[in-house]
């Protein structure tokens, strides 16, 4: 593999996807947005519900909505592992579904009776708003 490229493994409970020829990875972590380049120092962070942006060898950019998780870069392998509950290509998100998810999350947030219900509704609303913002 070219020394200006790295590999990314996206791992979910249901599938694993390998993406070769990645020039840069941008992701929002609990420490803010990070950009990982080939042969980055070893790195590990919690990933926020956000958009993963990948710059590929051919200069295309791929964007995925991710549902939180963990990113781990291993310098000796020149490989990143993104472990997330789910991810979906931003291009494949359907506007109607996103709008309904936002509406449902807002309604649940308003009617939440316990702190746990409120927190779950808040996270669902963040996901819905993130999906809408990322599509725009």
74-107 confidence digits (pLDDT tens):
999 999 999 999 888 877 766 656 677 777 767 7
Q: Percentage of the chain surpassing pLDDT 90?
A: 51
Give the list of residues 6+ apart from residue 26 with CB closer than 8 angstroms, or none.
33, 34, 35, 36, 52, 53, 54, 55
Q: How confident is the model at residue 109 (pLDDT cuts 50, 70, 90)?
A: low
Token digits of residue 120: 């779950």
pLDDT digits (tens, 9 = 90+) for 47-75: 998 889 999 999 999 998 888 999 999 99
* pTM tops 0.85, yes or no: no
CB 2 within 8 A of CB 73: no
Does the pLDDT value for residue 130 go beyond 70? no
Dihedral, CA of residue 124, residue 10, residue 133 and residue 127, to nearest 10: 0
Q: Are 132 and 98 in contact (CB under 8 A)?
A: yes
């Amino acid at each position: 593999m070219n020394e200006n490229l790295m590999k990314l493994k996206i791992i979910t409970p249901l599938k694993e996807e390998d993406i070769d020829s990645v020039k840069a990875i941008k992701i929002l972590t609990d420490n803010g947005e990070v950009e990982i380049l080939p042969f980055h120092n070893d790195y590990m962070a919690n990933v926020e519900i956000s958009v993963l942006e990948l710059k590929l060898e051919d200069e295309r950019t791929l964007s995925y909505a991710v549902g939180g998780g963990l990113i781990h870069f291993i310098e000796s392998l020149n490989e990143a592992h993104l472990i997330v509950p789910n991810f979906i290509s931003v291009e494949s998100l359907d506007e109607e579904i996103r709008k309904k998810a936002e509406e449902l999350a807002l309604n649940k947030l308003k009617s939440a009776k316990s702190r746990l219900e409120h927190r779950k509704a808040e996270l669902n609303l963040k996901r819905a708003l993130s999906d809408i913002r990322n599509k725009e």
